[in-house]
């Protein structure tokens, strides 16, 4: 397969030079292509490439589109060079050449300076592509910072050899300036808003200045513009694996990638410290969650827990859709959390004191409307998201208005448990049940939970 790819590149350069003896490279390539087609490797490889857009863009595989991409690849690989050679023969645009069998087998890539530089730059671009697909932080950082200056050096070396000039001393400073521009580009990922905009502007401006000094002052304005776009935007974007010009308002949280092939990673809202998800192209989940847990032991692969205010919603990253939630009313959950923060401050809840609130609909009791499990630590509230009992399990069922007391020992400290049940009625019909449970080192008062239940009742009317 590798030899076939190399022969396809050799054939392209011989046709570019309008070699009349390009039939030699074409013959070798056709034989290798036919052999691989016979063993089925061509169809497998083109099928894998046709699958890649669907996998990377996280869209469903469409059979018709897949077949069209596969046919276009096959036409470009084999029919394209054949058509170019036949048209050249018919129009007599091919020149008499000295192309030998040795050249047709690969020597042209070492004898032709343009072909050599093309292969070097193509290899660099392929390395950047693979670094971006892997989305490993260290590999991406190396590729982003090193490969653009290396490409600039190779392009400049080829241009100076063609026009017969040299500026080796000045080139060292330009390379270091390009490295600095790439450092700014890479670390701009972690910033949001105008900070990232200015960092990207500074990065591209530095690359544009270097390219103008290197090529523009020699009258090569078009090469200067193309080099700026390639070295300042395309190649570093390829190296980091996603488009950081999209989703400017949110920065990347850390440099860890959750789904490397799909390019899924955390983003954060710097104003609220909430987190979300995005992929290579844009936002998947807005940053409105306290935390996002991926690939936990009790969840299937690709199922994420979007956690916020004591409840979670399951999200399928492969299908990009929300699934079930452990509560049915997220707005009620948020409102209860706001009430609990003020309630705990007013009643002087101490370190490791706990509260558990469960609100259920009497007609749909399978999934609670709201279920908050909270621990206080100073003025901060921490929520528990596990499905295990949080404070204690009662052996008796409470009726509305009844209290139950208990005690538990946690980490050597004794906590006094108070359990209270309260029904919300309308015209003597029970609609909702509010189940409240608190565990405190000081003895909790009945009036506290009764007051809290009535505050929550106002949210249900």
Q: What is the pLDDT of residues 123-153, one digit of tens each?
A: 899 899 999 988 998 999 999 999 999 999 9
pTM exceeds 0.85, yes or no: no
Question: What pLDDT is stored for residue 266 in this prediction?
Answer: 93
- Opening angle at CA 311, ends 308 and 316, nearest 5: 80
Q: Classify residue 125: in a domain, yes or no.
A: no
Residue 409 lies in domain:
330-459
Of 305, 325, 345, the residue that ends a domain is: 325
435 and 364 in a single domain? The answer is yes
* CA–CA gap between residue 152 and residue 228 (Å, rounded): 10
Q: How many residues does the chain have?
A: 461
Burial of 187 (0-12, 13-18, 19+ CB in 10 A): middle
Task: Please give the Cα distance from 85 to 16 (Å, whole number).
Answer: 10
216 found inside a domain: no
Residues 334 and 454 in one domain: yes
pLDDT score of 151: 93
Alpha carbon distance 239, 137 (integer Å): 10
* Number of domain units in the chain: 3
- Looking at 111, 143, 160, which one is the last position of a domain? 111
Tens digit of pLDDT for each residue in 364-377?
A: 877 889 999 989 88
- pLDDT recorded at residue 395: 63
357 and 307 in a single domain? The answer is no
Q: What confidence score (pLDDT) does residue 105 get? A: 65
DSSP H/E element including 283: strand 283-289
177 within a domain of the structure (yes/no): no
347 and 295: one domain?
Answer: no
List C-alpha distances in Å: 419 to 37, 65, 371, 381, 398. 73, 60, 15, 20, 9
Closest CA to 121 of 148, 140, 143, 160: 148
Asked whether residue 290 falls in the same domain as residue 314, the answer is yes
Strands 283-289 and 303-308, how do they pair?
unpaired
**CATH number, position 423:** 3.30.450
Domain boundary among 92, 111, 130: 111
Question: Does residue 306 share a domain with residue 350?
Answer: no
Hey, is 372 helix, strand or coil? strand
**Residue stretches of the chain with pLDDT short of 70:** 1-6, 16-17, 21, 23, 42, 48, 52, 55-60, 96-113, 164-170, 297-298, 394-395
Could you tell me if 285 and 406 lie in one domain?
no
Confirm whether 87 is domain-assigned: yes
pLDDT of residue 297: 63
Q: Are residues 52 and 107 in the same domain?
A: yes
| Contact assessment for residue 287 and residue 270, using Cβ atoms and an 8 Å cutoff | no
Q: pLDDT at position 55, please?
A: 64
For residues 308 and 413, state if they share a domain: no
* 251-274 per-residue burial string, b: 16 or more CB within 10 A, e: under 16: bbbebebbbeebbbbbbbbbeeeb
DSSP line for 226-243? HHHHIIIIIHHHHHHTS-
On whether residue 179 sits in a domain, the answer given is no
pLDDT of residue 59: 66
Does a structural domain hold residue 354?
yes
**Residue-level pLDDT at 57:** 63
| Residue 100 and residue 3 share a domain | yes
Residues 264 and 310 in one domain: yes
Cβ pair 26, 10 in contact under 8 A: no
**351 and 310 share a domain?**
no
For the beta carbon of residue 330, count every other beta carbon within 10 angstroms: 15
Q: Is there a contact between 213 and 174 (Cβ–Cβ < 8 Å)? A: yes
Cα–Cα separations (whole angstroms), residue 229 to 117, 203, 218, 387 = 19, 12, 18, 52
């Amino acid at each position: 397969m590798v030899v076939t790819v190399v022969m396809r590149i050799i054939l392209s350069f011989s046709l570019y030079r309008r070699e009349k003896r390009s039939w030699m490279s074409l013959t070798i390539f056709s034989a290798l292509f036919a052999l691989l087609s016979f063993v089925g490797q061509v169809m497998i490889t083109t099928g894998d490439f046709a699958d890649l857009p669907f996998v990377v863009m996280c869209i469903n595989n469409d059979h018709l589109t897949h077949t069209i991409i596969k046919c276009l690849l096959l036409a470009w690989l084999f029919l394209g060079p054949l058509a170019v050679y036949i048209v050249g023969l018919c129009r007599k645009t091919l020149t008499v050449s000295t192309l030998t069998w040795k050249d047709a087998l690969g020597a042209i890539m070492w004898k032709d300076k343009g072909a050599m530089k093309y292969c070097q730059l193509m290899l660099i671009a392929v390395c950047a592509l693979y670094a971006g697909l892997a989305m490993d932080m260290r590999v991406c950082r190396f590729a982003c910072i090193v490969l653009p200056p290396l490409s600039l050096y190779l392009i400049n070396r080829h241009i100076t050899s063609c026009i017969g000039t040299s500026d080796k001393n000045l080139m060292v400073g330009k390379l270091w300036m390009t490295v600095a521009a790439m450092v700014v580009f890479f670390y701009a990922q972690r910033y949001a808003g105008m900070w990232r905009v200015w960092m990207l502007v500074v990065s591209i401006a530095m690359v544009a200045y270097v390219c103008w000094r290197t090529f523009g002052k020699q009258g090569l304005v078009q090469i200067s513009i193309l080099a700026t776009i390639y070295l300042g935007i395309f190649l570093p974007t390829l190296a980091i694996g996603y488009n950081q010009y999209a989703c400017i308002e949110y920065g990347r949280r850390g440099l860890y990638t959750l789904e490397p092939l799909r390019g899924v990673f955390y983003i954060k809202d710097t104003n609220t410290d909430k987190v979300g998800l995005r992929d290579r192209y844009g936002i998947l989940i807005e940053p409105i969650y306290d935390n996002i847990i991926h690939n936990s032991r009790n969840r299937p692969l690709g199922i994420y827990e979007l956690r916020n205010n004591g409840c979670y919603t399951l999200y399928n990253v492969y299908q990009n859709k929300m699934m079930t939630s452990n509560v049915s009313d997220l707005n009620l959950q948020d409102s209860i959390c706001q009430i609990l923060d003020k309630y705990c401050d007013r009643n002087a809840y101490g370190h490791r004191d706990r509260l558990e609130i469960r609100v259920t609909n009497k007609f749909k009791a399978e999934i609670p409307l709201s279920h908050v499990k909270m621990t206080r630590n100073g003025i901060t509230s921490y929520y528990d998201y596990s499905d295990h009992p949080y404070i204690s399990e009662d052996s008796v069922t409470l009726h509305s208005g009844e209290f139950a007391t208990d005690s538990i020992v946690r980490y050597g400290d004794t906590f006094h448990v108070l359990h209270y049940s309260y029904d919300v009625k309308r015209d003597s019909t029970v609609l909702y049940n509010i189940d409240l449970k608190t565990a405190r080192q000081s003895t909790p008062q009945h009036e506290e939970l009764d007051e809290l239940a009535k505050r929550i009742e106002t949210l249900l009317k």
